[in-house]
C-alpha cells in the first residue's frame, strides 16, 4: 500500500489532490510517536494523518471502519464519491477523474458557480422583505 500511495502523492503533487491519513499507530504516547517517526522516515511517508487514538469517539469508530486499510474518496466539494476502491489501477482511474473535475471547477467553474450563488440571496430578499 504505502509505496503506491507514495507514488500517488509524488505524481499529483502539483494537482488538487491530497492523501490524508487517519492513523492508528498509537502516536498519542511518546514511544508510539517515536516509533511512528522512524517508520515514516523508513517508508517515505510525507503526507499528514489524523491521530485516531485519543479522540472520543475515535474517528475510525465514527466512520465505522471495519478493517484496515479503509479508503474514502472525497471530491473537491467534500462529497464522498467512492468507497473502498482498492485495486491500484482502479484507484488511479477514479482519482484522475475526480482531479479533472476539481481542476475544471477551479478554472471555469468559479464564475459560473458564483452566479446562482449571487442570485439566490437576491431571489430571497424580496420574499424576506415582504414579511
- Answer yes or no whether residue 106 interacts with another protein by CB under 8 A: yes
- Burial of residue 70 (CB within 10 Å: 0-12, 13-18, 19+) is middle
Among 40, 15, 11, residue whose Cα is nearest residue 25: 40
Q: Round to the nearest angstrom and report the end-to-end CA distance of the chain.
A: 58
Q: Which of 7, 29, 39, 114 binds another protein (CB under 8 A)?
A: 39
Q: 57 to 86, contacts with another protein by CB under 8 A?
A: 59-66, 68-83
- Answer yes or no whether residue 44 interacts with another protein by CB under 8 A: no
Quote the cell numbers at residue 15.
494537482
- Answer yes or no whether residue 6 interacts with another protein by CB under 8 A: no
Nearer to another protein, 42 or 131 (CB): 42
Q: Which residues bind another protein (CB under 8 A)?
A: 1, 5, 8, 15-25, 27, 33, 36, 39, 43, 48-52, 54-55, 59-66, 68-83, 91, 95, 98-99, 102, 106
Amino acid at each position: 500500500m504505502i509505496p503506491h500511495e507514495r507514488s500517488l502523492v509524488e505524481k499529483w503533487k502539483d494537482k488538487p489532490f491530497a492523501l490524508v491519513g487517519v492513523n492508528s499507530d498509537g502516536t498519542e504516547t511518546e514511544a508510539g510517536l517515536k516509533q511512528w517517526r522512524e517508520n515514516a522516515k523508513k517508508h517515505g511517508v510525507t503526507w499528514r494523518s489524523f491521530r485516531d487514538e485519543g479522540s472520543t469517539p475515535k474517528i475510525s469508530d465514527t466512520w465505522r471502519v471495519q478493517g484496515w486499510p479503509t479508503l474514502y474518496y472525497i471530491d473537491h466539494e467534500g462529497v464522498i464519491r467512492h468507497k473502498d476502491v482498492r485495486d491500484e489501477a482502479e484507484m488511479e482511474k477514479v482519482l484522475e477523474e475526480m482531479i479533472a473535475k476539481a481542476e475544471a471547477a477551479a478554472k471555469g467553474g468559479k464564475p459560473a458557480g458564483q452566479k446562482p450563488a449571487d442570485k439566490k440571496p437576491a431571489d430571497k430578499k424580496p420574499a424576506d422583505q415582504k414579511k
